[in-house]
Amino acid sequence: MNDIGEFTLLVALATALYGCVAYVMSARGNRIDLYLSADKTPFIVWACIAISSICLWKAFLTDDFSLQYVWAYSNRELDTFYKVSSFWGGQKGSLLFWTLLLSTYMLVVYFQNRSKNLRVVPYAMAIMLAILVFFLFLINFSTNPFERIPLPPEDGRGLNPLLQNYWMVIHPPTLYLGYVGFTVPFAFAVAALISKNLDDGWIRMTRKWTLISWFFLCMGNLFGASWAYVELGWGGYWAWDPVENAAFMPLLIATAFLHSVMIQEKKDMMKVWNMSLILLTFAMTIFGTFITRSGLIQSVHTFDEATLGYYFLAFLFVIIVACVALIISRLPLLKSANELDSFLSRESSFLFNNLVLLGIAFATFWGTIFPIISEAVRGVKITVGPPFYNQVNVPIGLALLALIGIGPVIAWRRATLSNLKKNFLKPLIAAIVAAVVLYPFIPLGSRTEIYTYTTFVLCVFVLASIGTEFYKGTVSRMGLHEESVVGALATVTWRNKRRYGGYIVHIGVVLIFAGIAGSQAYGTHTEKHLQPGESFEIRGYTIKYEKLIAVEATNIKTRIIAQLAVERDGRRYWTGHPEKEFYKGQNQPVSEVDVLSTWKEDLYMILADFREDESATIKVYVNPMVSWMWTGGWIIAFGTMISMWPDRLEQRRRLDRVRKQEQLFPAPAQE
């Protein structure tokens, strides 16, 4: 099986290379024979990579330790669930997984578009195949997952205990689906540049791909935060680690892109800007893989054998240079009318939204690379950690939050004074009321607390502005048709899925802002060393340490569990079981926290230490509003689903628009 896996990888590389060249030649020379030949390659490449992946999975599931990769990331005792996820536990497998996802996306694009726009699609397929060639080259010649061990050992080294968590099965694939997904809009953008088809066709063809990729990247970030929260045992969820930053930056740039393409679709403006944004988004996804696989920047996420940095750096360089050259060469074709009715308009607010999003992305990028700059300039490698990002990004983030509230209520084209008064009055009153009501209850002794207060007030402003939009739509619908409030609200949302789906996504974002602000400013924690039967208090909870339980979970894993009774108002409220897991051959035990999560706050318990006399050190955090963030994530998922749902009405409207344009500007007569 391993030989088959290795062989199919080579076949995939050769086929991808051929497909890439054949697609380009067929498009350039109008050669239908070459096109028909090239058109078979996406499926062959995908099939080869899929077979290779199945071979690697089989090696994991059958404990084939003759493969160095299986030996390094699995062992006989490992749960089947984690044997499946060990596939992407190390660098070699993660690259193969990336390639598998990319080839699958490419196959879907191929089936979706092969009979459409024959001027753009062949180039888009060629770009995707070229990217696959790069990854397949690395897998075949630099980091082969099918590398053998001459004398196979009896057992494997095992998967890092920190990775033995159910999030390991969910978080990396979700994040990869996001990262890899941006290859599709990137490929279509470059194809549009090469083929000089620079209307908004490529945007329409890839709009859903962009949304899907954005959604997966967003959820991947949130899942990662959730994983860190339950697994790393420090009471937090985001550490501004370089690799976390690497996943955050493309999300910000893609968000800017999703907003600015609306202006291109509506007004045929900002073509160069949108091209640049999607190219930058893709470049940032490659920058993320560069960080994880270079070992150049210290990170907890870096792979053990991070040796591919220079390959990715070279690839990144080629992409950036080629794309910039392409954009410059197509500048005359990318020129658009670029006219605005007024400085005060939704178009302007979108431009400022882009500026702020890119500002946060740049600050994050700058913080991530500053240690390298400092070392190059001063010879001193410094650390850029959370205090930097919090101080720099929080004020910019607040500006972004304010813009989320301004966007929906400011008019397209031109916002007049009367229009501003009418639309902003209610959200502003709501914000002022919130500011007055919250003031007595919220401490304002530090910068963090002032930021948090401001965040809450802005959250109310944004929710009120979104609420106003839903209200206006519902009331006008009720006025025209005899419908109930719920019916009218549902119809309005369903008939304008893109617009109202977007508003729902914004509600999710607001909850995430509120959750971050609340948990950062008002959390508290304490640590106590206790004998069984002793107790302590924290924020109205009485935590009583009852006993220590030892469980031999498997031959290699021992669990030490502390049983903690949580009492409130003299009554038993909940029983917590934080634990430490000891794995044979691992120096450090792994903490498994226990969390009582409510809307108000999380009671987060850690077994920090224990002794032979059964005394234990218990650390308890009270983290307010953390669950708001996770809820915000699900609301984002719901809103994205609504936005992406096929909309016949919108398609009809677009067709009408095209027909009208054709009537106004008839195509030149054929000679």
Partner 1 sequence: MKTLKVFAGLFVLVWVSMGQVSGAGAGALLQDLENQLMCKCDDKCGKVLINCTCATSDKTRAKFSKMLESGLTVEQIVKMQVDEYGETILSAPTKFGFNLTAWMTPFVALVAGGFGVRKVLQAWVGKKTGSGSEETPVAEPKISEKYSKRLKDELDGIEL
If one counts every other C-beta atom within 10 angstroms of the C-beta of residue 321, the result is: 10
Residue 435 interacts with partner 1 (CB under 8 A): yes or no: no
Among 145, 233, 407, 633, indicate the residue that binds partner 1 (CB under 8 A). 233
Residues 193-212 that bind partner 1 (CB under 8 A): none
Residues 247-286 that bind partner 1 (CB under 8 A): 266-267, 269
Q: Shortest distance, CB of residue 390 to partner 1, whole angstroms?
A: 9
Q: Shortest distance, CB of residue 55 to partner 1, whole angstroms?
A: 34
**Complete DSSP assignment for 487-555:** HHHHHHHHHTHHHHHHHHHHHHHHHHHHHHHHHHHH-EEEEEEE-TT-EEEETTEEEEEEEEEEEE-SS
Residue 531 interacts with partner 1 (CB under 8 A): yes or no: no
Q: Shortest distance, CB of residue 441 to partner 1, whole angstroms?
A: 7
Residues 579-638 that bind partner 1 (CB under 8 A): 588, 591, 606, 608-609
- The closest alpha carbon to 16, from 111, 118, 142, 102, belongs to 102
Q: How many residues bind partner 1 (CB under 8 A)?
A: 73
Round to whole Å and give the CA distance between 204 and 117: 12
Q: Candidates 10-18, 38-46, 309-317, 445-453 — which segment interacts with partner 1 by CB under 8 A?
A: 445-453
Among 41, 52, 299, 474, indicate the residue that binds partner 1 (CB under 8 A). 299
Q: Candidates 9-17, 77-85, 213-221, 343-351 — which segment interacts with partner 1 by CB under 8 A?
A: 343-351
Round to whole Å and give the CA distance between 285 and 221: 13
Residue 115 interacts with partner 1 (CB under 8 A): yes or no: no
Q: Buried b vs exposed e over 594-613: b needs ≥16 C-beta within 10 Å?
A: bbbeeeebbbbbbbbebeee
Residue 7: C-alpha distances to residues 2, 53, 407 (Å)? 8, 12, 54
Indicate the burial class of 62 (C-beta count within 10 angstroms; 0-12, 13-18, 19 or more): exposed
Q: Candidates 197-205, 307-315, 443-451, 480-488 — which segment interacts with partner 1 by CB under 8 A?
A: 443-451
Q: Candidates 206-214, 366-374, 539-547, 566-574 — which segment interacts with partner 1 by CB under 8 A?
A: 366-374
Coil vs helix vs strand at 573: strand
Q: Shortest distance, CB of residue 167 to partner 1, whole angstroms?
A: 17
Residue 649 interacts with partner 1 (CB under 8 A): yes or no: no
Among 115, 151, 332, 339, indicate the residue that binds partner 1 (CB under 8 A). 339
Give residue for tokens 């009501």.
437
Among 1, 47, 272, 340, indicate the residue that binds partner 1 (CB under 8 A). 340
Q: Shortest distance, CB of residue 411 to partner 1, whole angstroms?
A: 5
Residue 449 interacts with partner 1 (CB under 8 A): yes or no: yes
Residue 442 interacts with partner 1 (CB under 8 A): yes or no: yes
- DSSP structure class, residue 67: B
Give 205's contacts (C-beta < 8 A, 6+ positions apart). 113, 116, 117, 120, 188
Question: For residues 194 and 521, which CB has a smaller minimum distance to partner 1 in the complex?
Answer: 521
Ranges of beta strands (E only) in 307-378 are none
Among 445, 533, 570, 646, indicate the residue that binds partner 1 (CB under 8 A). 445
Q: Buried b vs exposed e over 366-392: b needs ≥16 C-beta within 10 Å?
A: ebbbebeeeeeeeeeeeebeeebbbeb
Question: For residues 315 and 522, which CB has a smaller minimum distance to partner 1 in the complex?
Answer: 522
Q: Which two tokens stand for residue 343?
A: 């400085």
Q: Which two tokens stand for residue 276?
A: 């640049």
Q: Contact letters (x/-) for partner 1, 477-516, by CB under 8 A? A: -------------------x--x-----------------
Residues 157-176 that bind partner 1 (CB under 8 A): none
Length of the chain: 671
Residues 627, 597: contact at Cβ < 8 Å? yes
Indicate the burial class of 436 (C-beta count within 10 angstroms; 0-12, 13-18, 19 or more): exposed
Residues 121-150 that bind partner 1 (CB under 8 A): none
Q: Which two tokens stand for residue 399?
A: 């500006």
- The closest alpha carbon to 133, from 108, 103, 160, belongs to 103
Coil vs helix vs strand at 306: coil
Question: For residues 47 and 442, which CB has a smaller minimum distance to partner 1 in the complex?
Answer: 442
If one counts every other C-beta atom within 10 angstroms of the C-beta of residue 657, the result is: 10
Question: For residues 30 and 446, which CB has a smaller minimum distance to partner 1 in the complex?
Answer: 446
Residues 534-553 that bind partner 1 (CB under 8 A): none
Among 321, 425, 444, 649, indicate the residue that binds partner 1 (CB under 8 A). 444
Give residue for tokens 């290699």.
556
Residue 475 interacts with partner 1 (CB under 8 A): yes or no: no
Residue 651 interacts with partner 1 (CB under 8 A): yes or no: no
Q: Candidates 442-450, 555-563, 630-638, 663-671 — which segment interacts with partner 1 by CB under 8 A?
A: 442-450
Among 142, 338, 555, 597, indicate the residue that binds partner 1 (CB under 8 A). 338
Among 58, 119, 472, 529, indicate the residue that binds partner 1 (CB under 8 A). 472
Residues 362, 374: contact at Cβ < 8 Å? no
Among 128, 256, 363, 620, indicate the residue that binds partner 1 (CB under 8 A). 363
Residues 371-430 that bind partner 1 (CB under 8 A): 374, 377-378, 380-388, 391-392, 396, 411-413, 415-416, 418-419, 422
Among 6, 39, 63, 241, indicate the residue that binds partner 1 (CB under 8 A). 241
